[in-house]
Amino acid sequence: MTVRTRRWLIGLTLLGLVASAAATWVHHRLLLHPGYTSFCDVSAAVSCSEAYLSPYGSLAGVPVALLGLLWFVLVLALLVAPRWLVASETVPTYLFALSTIGLAVVLYLAYGSFVVLKTVCPLCVPTYVAVAGLFLISGGAMTFPMSQLPARALRDLRTLASNPAALVAAILLVSGAATAVAFFPRESAPAAAQAPAAGTAGEQQSEFERWYLAQPTVDPGIPAEGAAVLIVKFNDYQCPPCRQTYENYKSILAKYRTSHPGAVRFVTKDFPLDPECNFNTPGGGHLAACEAAVAVRLAEKHNRREAMEDWLFANQSTLTPDTVKEGARTVGGINLSDFNAQYASVLPLVKADIAAGGTLGVRSTPTFFINGRVIKGGLPPQFFDAALAYELKQAKR
């Protein structure tokens, strides 16, 4: 491996390392600090949060950003390892094997981001470039076939095991990676925010409650109908965070329906980011979202609203106006002729929700109003639960 090649490989690795470290930090903040807006959330089409909080942002509950950070650390370790430990001619083959796997992963993530989510993640793109560059350069620098790699790897492992300092360094690297994965906060963590604690100097509020109470309050203009807590969600059926909050909050809302019957009212309002019915939406957008909103309203007449919503969110990545109509037929019990006949009369109701959202300052989905408090993008489940518990506690005072 030439000096120039090694410099290129190190440069690309450092690029990916810095980007993935920043991505890991942002994802960590999103999980621990509800309502956090990262510096790379420019719009609905350019957003880190959209990607990190989507199903493409984690693997088995572990953020992809953290896994990428650990991957680049391993690559850097191979590049800077002493040559008596890892032969110079072996390093490109190791990197090619690692980057082949890495390239498959980033192609999948890029597809999820660009095609499914229709979002560009500014911190993800540098990692895509770094992995692709490592793949191309290491492949060109290989001096022996991949079939020889297992034997050379076994030899390098024996060398590693025979050197105490190198062995300790390897153990520290592996244990550090395992610790990072084990202790990184999970989005589904059951812990809830602390309740206020009384003291002689008055009540002390948890960090979450201080943040929550600092959010602006707006009257959404929707009656609570006797409920102590009114939750209004402005929703788009093609919005990944809308799907995620729909799935994450189901069990929480069911819990309160059982423990506090009638105390929590949840209202969904339509705010499709589709220029067909939402003139505030820039070019592009979610081009089946208006049809999806109408399909849910029509399905509700057949007592099939929840089933229709479940189907739309489950098939979110493949929705088109035609597939929505087919779903409305098979799931919502609405034949195509009825859908087409009623579409023009139902769409104004969707537009009325959009207009109401615009008056309230809604610009993105999901946007929640919890007893009037504006929550943009939703909350991690544990904080959503904590918000409802806080509001119910306040209602009893």
Q: Can you give the pLDDT at residue 199?
A: 41
Q: Higher confidence at residue 142 or residue 368?
A: 368
pLDDT value at 284 more than 70: no
Determine which of 88-102, 227-241, 346-360 has the lowest per-residue pLDDT on average: 88-102
Q: For domain 210-395, give the fold.
A: Glutaredoxin (3.40.30)
pLDDT value at 190 more than 60: no
pLDDT value at 204 more than 70: no
User: Is residue 333 within 8 Å of 302, Cβ to Cβ?
Assistant: yes
Domain with CATH 1.20.1440.130 in the chain: 3-183
80: tokens are: 């800077």
Average pLDDT, the chain: 87
Q: In CATH, which of 1.10.150.530, 1.20.1440.130, 2.40.30.20, 1.10.600.10 is domain 3-183?
A: 1.20.1440.130
For the chain, how far is it from start to end, CA to CA, in angstroms?
Answer: 72
Element (H, E) at 382: helix 381-395
pLDDT value at 202 more than 60: no
Q: Can you give the pLDDT at residue 95?
A: 93
Domain with CATH 3.40.30.10 in the chain: 210-395
Q: What is the mean pLDDT of residues 282-310?
A: 91
Determine which of 168-172, 227-231, 251-255, 289-293 has the lowest per-residue pLDDT on average: 168-172
pLDDT value at 125 more than 90: yes
112: tokens are: 């999820």
Band (pLDDT 50/70/90 cuts) for residue 36 is low
CB atoms within 10 A of CB 290: 29
Band (pLDDT 50/70/90 cuts) for residue 44 is low
Q: Higher confidence at residue 82 or residue 355?
A: 355
Q: Can you give the pLDDT at residue 50?
A: 74
Q: Is 368 left (phi over 0), alpha (psi -120 to 50) or beta?
A: beta
Q: What is the mean pLDDT of residues 94-111?
A: 93
SS3 271: coil
CA angle 387, 297, 291 (to 5 degrees): 105
User: Is residue 299 within 8 Å of 291, Cβ to Cβ?
Assistant: no
Q: In the chain, what's the furthest Cα-to-Cα distance? A: 78
pLDDT value at 334 more than 80: yes
Q: Which residues lie closer than 8 Å to 43 by C-beta, 6 or more apart?
A: none
